[in-house]
Structure 1
Amino acid sequence: MHFEVPKLRKHSLKEFSQHYLMIVLSILTALGLEQWIERAHHRHAAEYASTQVEAELRSNLNDIHTSKQVNAQNLGPLTELNDAIIADVRKGVPDKLINQHIQSLQGKFVLSVNWPTFATQAWDVAVANQSAAWIDTATLRRFSAAYAAQREAATWVTHDSMLALDAPRMVLLRTRIQLGVDIDPIEFLGVVRQMINTTTQTQLHLEQTEKQVVAALPVNDR
């Protein structure tokens, strides 16, 4: 049996090629447009997430500054009390007179430590909706370091900040002073030092956290 392949006219082959090329270009254009839209979406999501995170970190930074100022003010009276009683002890002032001095300064025998509540909602949302993954690597690393520093500082406050403070003894001494009962000046100084150290350590942790938060913000915000 004999078969003959039909011959295509030149113009038919040309039309087919043009039609095929149009299809390929349409597909490539559609794919390119889809990728462009996806990249634009990712870029917009990353920019929005970065804006929200930076605003949150600025707010946390303001709270850190406020806490540091409050703690510095509260530390002043404790330091004055410590210096005054140390001076009495070194001069050999009798315990009875030192107790009178402590009575007159009992308003300074107060431990008040201020600590900010670090907001994390913007960061949590960015991680949850995966927009954090589209933030550029360097910025993401700075953000992550800032929030990690905040978590570590918060953990220290929750678990370790009061380990060096004998709180029951502090309350007992305060009660005896308020009742006008004499106390041992050296024991009193020991508790005052604990209170000062607790406040000082708090300030150090705030300063360390502050550095990480500042480093995470744009240069013009630092």
Structure 2
Amino acid sequence: MHIEVPKLRAHSFREFAVHYLMIVLSILTALGLEQWIERVHHRHAAEYAREQIDSELGGLLRDIQASIQTDETKLAPLIALDKAINDDMAKGLPDAQINQHIRQLSSGFRLSINWPAFTTQAWDVAVANQSATWIEVERLHRYTAAYAAVREAASWTTHNATVTLDAPRMFDMQTRIRLGKDVDPVEFLSVSQQMIVSSKQTIAYLQDASTPIKAALELSGE
């Protein structure tokens, strides 16, 4: 059996080669364009995520600082009352005189602990849609540290802010003082110390949370 291979003319081969190269170039161009579009999309998504996260962290920082200031202002009269009664005890004053002093300063015998709403919506969205993975590494690390501190502070205020406080005992003491009844000075100091510790610990957690938030916002110039 005889098979004769058809002879291709030179210009036909060149046309085929040109056509083939055009196809290859078209594919490479399409792939490159797709990658470029994807990079642009990722960059825009990361920029939007940064804007939302910075805005959220900035609001959180302002709210935390306002809560710290409020808590410290309202804690000051309680600390002054506690010190005054401690001084009375150290001087050996009679209980009746100490109780008179307690009633005079009773407006300071209040516990007021404030904290902000620890919102994390912008961060949660960025993690859910994976735009967080396109944020530069250093910034992402700072965001992660900031939101970890926010969640820790939120957990503290929700579950542990008053763990050292005997609330029924505090309310009973406040009621007796409001009605003009004498209280045991030692018991009074025990309750006042519980109130002071609870407030100070909350302030400390808020201050700890503000530090990594400030570090995260430094990269944005806020």
TM range (shorter): over 0.9
> Is residue 179 of structure 2 the alignment partner of residue 179 of structure 1?
yes
Match of 2:49 in 1: 49
> Is residue 41 of structure 2 the alignment partner of residue 4 of structure 1?
no
Structure 1: tracts of 5 or more residues without a match: none
Match of 1:76 in 2: 76
Residues 169 and 68 of structure 1, relative CA distance in 2, 3 Å threshold: same
Structure 2: tracts of 5 or more residues without a match: none
Structure 2 counterpart of 1:165, one-letter code: L
Distance in 1 (CA, whole Å) between partners of 2:220 and 2:41 is 27
Structure 1 counterpart of 2:160, one-letter code: D
Match of 2:144 in 1: 144
SS in 1 for 2:111: coil
1:3 CA displacement: 2.1
Distance in 1 (CA, whole Å) between partners of 2:93 and 2:220 is 56
> Is residue 124 of structure 2 the alignment partner of residue 120 of structure 1?
no
Structure 2 counterpart of 1:97, one-letter code: Q
> Is residue 87 of structure 2 the alignment partner of residue 87 of structure 1?
yes
1:60 CA displacement: 0.2
Superimposed CA distance per residue, residues 47-91 of structure 1 (whole angstroms, 9 cap, x where no aligned partner): 111110111000000001000100110111011101111111111
> Is residue 36 of structure 2 the alignment partner of residue 36 of structure 1?
yes
Structure 1 counterpart of 2:159, one-letter code: H
Contact map agreement 2:79 2:196 (CA 8 A) in 1: yes
Contact map agreement 2:56 2:120 (CA 8 A) in 1: yes
Match of 1:209 in 2: 209
Match of 2:24 in 1: 24
Residues 69 and 164 of structure 1, relative CA distance in 2, 3 Å threshold: same
> Is residue 134 of structure 2 the alignment partner of residue 131 of structure 1?
no
Greater alpha carbon shift after TM alignment, 129-138 vs 42-51: 129-138
1:220 CA displacement: 5.5
Match of 1:13 in 2: 13
Match of 1:101 in 2: 101
Distance in 2 (CA, whole Å) between partners of 1:221 and 1:27 is 43
Let me know the Cα RMSD of the aligned residues: 1.2
Match of 1:59 in 2: 59
Q: Percent identity?
A: 59
Give me the TM-score of the superposition, normalised by structure 2.
0.96
Distance in 1 (CA, whole Å) between partners of 2:159 and 2:19 is 73
Structure 1 counterpart of 2:205, one-letter code: H
Distance in 2 (CA, whole Å) between partners of 1:220 and 1:2 is 79
Contact map agreement 2:49 2:132 (CA 8 A) in 1: yes
Give me the TM-score of the superposition, normalised by structure 1.
0.96
Distance in 2 (CA, whole Å) between partners of 1:221 and 1:139 is 12
1:163 CA displacement: 1.3
1:94 CA displacement: 1.0
Contact map agreement 2:139 2:219 (CA 8 A) in 1: no
Which portions of structure 1, spanning 4 or more consecutive aligned residues, are displaced by more than 6 angstroms?
none
Contact map agreement 2:54 2:220 (CA 8 A) in 1: no
Distance in 1 (CA, whole Å) between partners of 2:160 and 2:111 is 16
1:217 CA displacement: 1.7
Superimposed CA distance per residue, residues 27-57 of structure 1 (whole angstroms, 9 cap, x where no aligned partner): 1001100111011101110111111011100
